[in-house]
Amino acid sequence: MMKFVIIQCVKAYQDELKQIFKSIHINAYSEMDVEGFMKNADGTSDYSNWFGSTKNPYNYMVSFSFLAADKAEELLKRVDDFNNTIQGMSPMNAYIVGVEKSV
Strand order through the sheet with 58-68: 30-36, 58-68, 2-10, 93-98
N- to C-terminal Cα separation, the chain: 14
Which of 4-8, 12-16, 33-37, 91-95 has the lowest average pLDDT?
Answer: 33-37
> Phi first, then psi: what are they for 80, rounded to 5°?
-60, -45
Query: Which domains are assigned to the chain?
Result: 2-98 (3.30.70.120)
The percentage of the chain sitting over the pLDDT mark of 70, rounded to a whole number, equals 82
pTM over 0.75: yes
- CA Rg value for the chain: 15
Cα–Cα dist 37/48, whole Å: 10
